[in-house]
Chains A and B, each alone.
Chain A
Amino acid sequence: MASLYHAAAGINRLEQLAMQDSPVHRLHPMAKLIVTFFYVVTIVSFPPEDISGIIPFLLYPAVMMPLSGTPYRPLLQRLMFALPFSLMGGISNLIAVRGVAFYIGSFVVSQGMVSFVSIMLKTLLSVFAVLILIASTSFVEISCQLTILRIPKIICLQLVMTYRYLSILISETASMLTAYSFRGPNQKGIKMKDMGSFAGRLILRSFDRAERVYQAMKCRGFNGIYYGRKHGGFRLSDGIFIALMTLLVIFLRFFNLSLFFGRLAG
């Protein structure tokens, strides 16, 4: 139960981080969105065996996090939610792909192992990039920029509302769980026989809540389109950020920096 309260607080923590002031926060949301998208797509485009090519991309979170004043811990905690999924994919490669990739002394490194590390690295960097974006830009602003990029408005609105509701849903669940556990102090979690009515009740409460929020929105002129804050145009700093990051990403994609330094050292 305590973990539910922590989860709700965690979502709020990201919103709080997004409201801070830093050079990264001051960048135009669209500039950050474009760079993040380009960065993630480039990382995903690496072939599974090219681990050394991906490693220099660690530079991005290493620079952006201190610049945006984003603490490591909350991001690492959120990373833990994504890692199990790629872990599953990685492990299956570890078992299924058995060809020899290379040797370290007498130790055989299989292609499965390389693929496993590659998947984990790609996940780590992609999730970090997205989390840095969310920690330095409010979710509403991101959604508004998606609208400008011609993503259907209804999808953008759904994203904003889902994000907003997540913490409400978690706190509703937590308070229901609290009430439940007070009436059954010696049991752990919810009994299977109560699970159906608990979930049903939660859904009904969520529907009621959603209905009331929708009524409040309609009363203030909502007609299905969310109009977010209109940002000014791109400033010079935004242009420089996009140009610099794009060039860096392209350079790192086609020039293997790790191998270069390795050869220099060798």
Chain B
Amino acid sequence: MLKVTNLSVKYDLSDEYALKGVEFTVQSGERVAVIGANGAGKSTLLLVLTGVLSHDSGGIVIDDIVLEKKTMLELRKKLGMIFQNPDDQLFMPTVYEDIAFGPRNYGSPEAETEAKADEALSQLNISHLKRRLSHKLSGGEKRLVALASVLVMKPVLLLLDEPTSFLDPKARRRLIGVLDALPQTMIIATHDLDMALDLCGRVILLKEGHIHTDAPVNDALHNADLLEECGLELPLSLQKR
């Protein structure tokens, strides 16, 4: 599904690499949590995978297509990126206009676009939000609409950047339930280690732009020393009270 080889990224005007020699593969249907302290390179990794940020060296192959300029549009059809702040993702006035944005860009006729939007909304049980103004929604609703705006494209790979941030416990729980029911391959960059424990089978632990550990979720997230070494703590559910 996804193969990343020797990936290095350096931001303009910076001497340090944001990502250095990153290599991993993700199988179809797998859910991988990308964790690490602030500035470890989690969000950068997701942005590079979408092609929004260009990489200095290395290669990315998604669904047998090499990520390069000429394949960018085709690849973005297969990818769904959920940004950390849903307000950045919902830029159209109404929920429907926002969800229709992607299909329209790919030339989908209006009737088909509306059918796809309805399907995505009902998949997440938020059909009642269709005609609402995007900026009037609650944090949890915004997150679900952002997810719908991506699912409408029927992506094979979902990239989620801190999906549970800004959410109250109930909305968080609901979102985890929704994500758990989705069949897509997922890469989730998160500080919410409990969610990683609930949703993912594998963890990639980033430290200062390189992969420190790539291990099954139970091995990595139960290891207090390993997490501490990378500036993290045990998930709350595993901490002794």
Contact = CB atoms under 8 A, between A and B. Distances in A.
Interface of A: 12, 15-16, 19, 138-140, 161, 164, 167-168, 209, 212-213, 215-223, 227-230
B73 to A, nearest CB: 6
22 contacts: A12-B136, A15-B133, A164-B91, A164-B93, A213-B88, A215-B83, A215-B88, A216-B81, A216-B83, A217-B91, A217-B101, A218-B50, A219-B79, A219-B80, A220-B105, A220-B150, A220-B153, A221-B73, A222-B101, A223-B73, A227-B107, A230-B109
Interface in B36-50: 47, 50
Contacts of B106: 221
B93 A213 contact: no
A139 B133 CA distance: 13
B110 interface: yes
A12 B136 CA distance: 9
Contacts of A140: 92-93, 97
B185 interface: no
B217 interface: no
A164 B92 contact: yes
A222 B174 CA distance: 30
Interface in B141-192: 149-150, 153
Interface of B is mostly: helix
A215 B91 CA distance: 12
B97 A221 contact: no
A221 B102 contact: yes
A221 B77 contact: yes
A222 to B, nearest CB: 6
A139 B83 CA distance: 25
A223 to B, nearest CB: 7
Given A218-B50, A221-B76, A229-B97, 19 more contacts: A12-B135, A12-B136, A15-B93, A19-B94, A19-B133, A140-B92, A140-B97, A212-B83, A215-B83, A215-B88, A217-B101, A218-B76, A219-B52, A219-B76, A220-B76, A221-B153, A223-B105, A229-B100, A230-B109
Contacts, number: 77
B85 interface: yes
Contacts of A218: 50, 52, 76
Nearest to A231: B110
Interface of B: 47, 50, 52, 73, 76-77, 79-81, 83, 85, 87-89, 91-94, 97, 100-102, 104-107, 109-110, 131, 133, 135-136, 149-150, 153
A215 B110 contact: no
B73 A219 contact: no
Nearest to A215: B52
A162 B104 CA distance: 21
B85 A215 contact: no
Contacts of A230: 109-110
B76 to A, nearest CB: 6
B102 to A, nearest CB: 4
Nearest to B133: A15
Contacts of A217: 91, 101
A229 B88 contact: no
B94 A227 contact: no
Contacts of A220: 76, 101-102, 105, 149-150, 153
Contact of A209 (B88, B101, B153): B88
Contact of B89 (A164, A216, A223): A216
A228 to B, nearest CB: 8
Nearest to A230: B110
Contacts of A221: 73, 76-77, 102, 105-106, 153
5 tightest A-B CB contacts, nearest first: A221-B105, A220-B102, A227-B104, A212-B88, A219-B81
A222 B105 contact: yes
A217 B141 CA distance: 20
